[in-house]
Amino acid sequence: MTAAQALFMGLLQGATELFPVSSLGHAVIVPSVFHWSFKQSDPSFLPFLVLLHLGTATALLILYWRQWLRIVTGFVRAALRGRIQGEDERLAMLLVVGTLPAGLAGLFFQSYFKALFANPRAAAAFLIVNGLILLGAEVLRRRAERRQASRTEQEAAFRPAEALSFKAALLVGACQVGALFPGISRSGATMAGGLLAGLRHQEAARFSFLLATPVIAAAGLLEVPELFKPGIPLGLYAAAAVLSGAAAYGSARFLIRWFRVGRLDPYGVYCLLAGSAGLALLR
Amino acid sequence: MRGTPITTALLLLAVVLVVVAFLYALGTIGWFANPNDVHHYKHAAAFFVLAVLAAVGANFARDRPAAG
């Protein structure tokens, strides 16, 4: 991998990790479209991914550091007391429940799924499926909205993340399992799940980002020893990780603002087009 | 406050999960883990976290006197 390719991949990963368009899908499709010779399945690629994930997770932690402080202290307090009091403690426990399905599935089945589906054509096909999921979630959401109201009023009728039931949090968390398929977006699946669970768009995005942080951080931290194997260009990879983190921070800020009144539709349409273009170009 | 059957079950589960975590760390078991690794620290860490969560769950499941 050349320096330019590494930096581009860092930027791409950071930007697409939080946009509901599948970072893994893009990371599989884009190099193939450009006929870049490096392979995602190559063991030397793992340390690169580790640092990119750590960059993204750091960006999310910086963005939500006050919330994470309250969530962590809330978890400890509730765990010791054996009872939930207040919104922070409830959000902490909702995140624990929501993280379990993807954490377990990722731990046990990620390498299996990657080996099975990490080819560009499959990723392009799953990107189309991702687009249909996003558009489908919005179709169902529109049925639950008041038609004559403004977008702000429509959104206000739905719930914040703290009001989710634990069953709903588990189901939203289970949506993250879909992201094991390259082309299915983790944030897209959880946002779609959040919308179906009755969250406001902005809250669905916030819950999705909070849910993603432990999984992305753990995926990165657990592989840190890979960074210290011989022959790893740590400086270049670190620069790509910084770009990835900056892109993730910028895209998270953009999305939180977008989802005040915006919807998933444009990202759904983008996935349909990008997936179709990928299938056409990768014949 | 006293234990319920669920509390006991969750505590037992926590103990089992800690044992499994140690077995993964030692490399005695390697289910669903990379066969090339001798020790499976990722799985060990995950099972340890699950053990902590089971213990937290046991604390939540304890019988408490009704409020008021």
* pLDDT at B52 exceeding the cut of 90: yes
Cβ atoms of residues A248 and A90 within 8 Å = no
Residue B51 has pLDDT above 70, yes or no: yes
pLDDT for res A224: 78
Q: Which residues of A touch B (CB under 8 A)?
A: 79-83, 96, 100, 103-104, 107-109, 111, 222-223
Q: Are B38 and B27 in contact (CB under 8 A)?
A: yes
Domains in chain B, number: 1
Residue A276 domain-assigned? yes
For chains A and B, what is the number of CB pairs under 8 angstroms?
25
How do residues A220-244 score in pLDDT, each as one tens digit? 787 777 777 777 788 888 999 999 9
Structure tokens belonging to residue A182? 């390259």
Query: Which has the closest alpha carbon to A186: A198, A196, A172, A199?
Result: A172
**Of A257, A132, A144, nearest to A197 (Cα)?**
A144
pLDDT in tens, A106-142: 877 777 776 666 688 888 999 999 999 999 999 999 9
Nearest to A82 among B43, B53, B59 (CB): B59
Q: Is residue B44 part of a domain?
A: yes
With contacts defined as CB-CB under 8 Å, which chain A residues touch B34?
111
Please check whether residue B67 lies inside any domain of the structure: no
User: pLDDT value at position A85?
Assistant: 92
A 10 A CB-CB count for A96 gives: 22
pLDDT digits (tens, 9 = 90+) for A94-108: 999 999 998 888 877
Partner A, chain B 2-61, Cβ-Cβ below 8 Å: 32, 34, 41-43, 45-46, 53, 56, 59-60
Does residue B62 belong to the interface with chain A, where contact is any CB pair within 8 Å? yes
A228 within a domain of the structure (yes/no): yes
Distance CA A134, CA A191 (A): 8
* B37 belongs to a structural domain: yes
Record: contact A103-B46, CB cut-off 8 A = yes
A41: in domain: no
Question: Within a domain: residue A175?
Answer: yes
> Among positive and negative, which fits the CA dihedral A102, A107, A111, A113?
negative
B31 within some domain = yes
Decide if B66 is inside a domain: no
Residue A283 reports pLDDT greater than 90: no
**Which of A85, A108, A109, A215 is the best substitution to test chain B (most B C-beta atoms within 10 A)?**
A108
Q: How far are the Cα atoms of A126, A199, A203, A266 from residue A159, in angstroms, in the given order? A: 30, 5, 8, 23
Let me know if residue A65 belongs to a domain.
yes
When divided into structural domains, chain A yields a total of 1
- Give chain A's mean pLDDT: 89
How many percent of chain A have pLDDT more than 90?
56
- Please enumerate in sequence order all residues whose Cβ is within 8 A of that of A5, keeping only pairs 6 or more positions apart, or say none: A31, A36, A38
Cross-chain CB nearest to A222 (options B42, B53, B56): B42
- Print the domain residue range for B9: 5-60
pLDDT for the residue A35: 84
Which member of B46, B56, B59 has the closest CB to residue A107? Answer: B46
Residue A37 resides in a domain? no
Beta partners for residue B63, in sequence order: B2
In a domain, B23, yes or no: yes
Q: Domain residues for A94?
A: 3-32+47-281
Among A35-44, A147-156, B14-23, name the one with the lowest average pLDDT.
Answer: A35-44
Range A204-209, long-range pairs (CB < 8 A, 24+ positions)? A204/A161, A204/A259, A205/A255, A205/A256, A205/A259, A206/A161, A206/A256, A207/A94, A207/A98, A207/A161, A207/A164, A207/A172, A209/A18, A209/A60, A209/A63, A209/A64, A209/A252
Q: How far is B67 from chain A (nearest CA, A)?
A: 12
Structural domain includes residue B68? no
Residue A39 counted as domain residue: no
> What's the mean pLDDT in B49-53?
93
